[in-house]
Structure 1
């Protein structure tokens, strides 16, 4: 039995509302980044974080943290970010009803 449309919509809203902030790691330093935008379009939740031009270094990890302080998503990476430009980090999730 599949979820009803109502249950599917509530699940998407719950998912969206559980996200608290993101983090990025440079060296051994983990720094919080606030949510820049969080949108729900159809079945797609798009979460974006913005790192200002003042942030510089080799970023080795991005994480999405939920309202309970738990890691929701953990993305290892290796981005050398100069102090020239900002950086928009995007996570996309699709919740489909089958």
Structure 2
């Protein structure tokens, strides 16, 4: 028996509410950043982190932090961000009923 439509919707909403904030590593130090935006379109859930022009340096990792304070997901990277523009990072998940 498959999960119901209602159960599927609740799982997507749970994921949206479970992620608390973002984090990035720059110069070996971790910095917290709020979730800039979330989007739920069909089965696709996207979390966006935005680093404005006040942040500059070599960034080696982006993370999503859950409500328990643990890393939910991370993306290793190696990007040098200048202070003349912002940076938008996305984490995208698809929750499908099969």
Alpha-carbon shift at residue 46 of structure 1 (Å):
1.0
Consecutive unaligned residues of structure 1, counting only runs of 5 or more, are none
Runs of 4 or more, structure 1, over 6 Å off, are none
* TM-fit CA distance, 1:78: 0.5
The yes-or-no answer on 1:4 pairing with 2:26 is no
Mapped partners of 2:22, 2:36: distance in 1:
10
- 5 Å-filtered alignment, 1:59-78, equals 59-78=59-78
* Cα distance, 1:4 vs structure 2: 0.8
Give the match for residue 35 of structure 2.
35
Pairs within 5 Å for 1:1-98: 1-98=1-98
Provide the aligned C-alpha RMSD in A.
0.7
**How does the TM-score come out when normalised to structure 2?**
0.96
* Matched positions, count: 98
User: What is the deviation of 1:27?
Assistant: 1.5
SS at match of 1:6: helix
Q: CA deviation at 1:57?
A: 0.7
Deviation at 1:72, TM superposition (A): 0.5
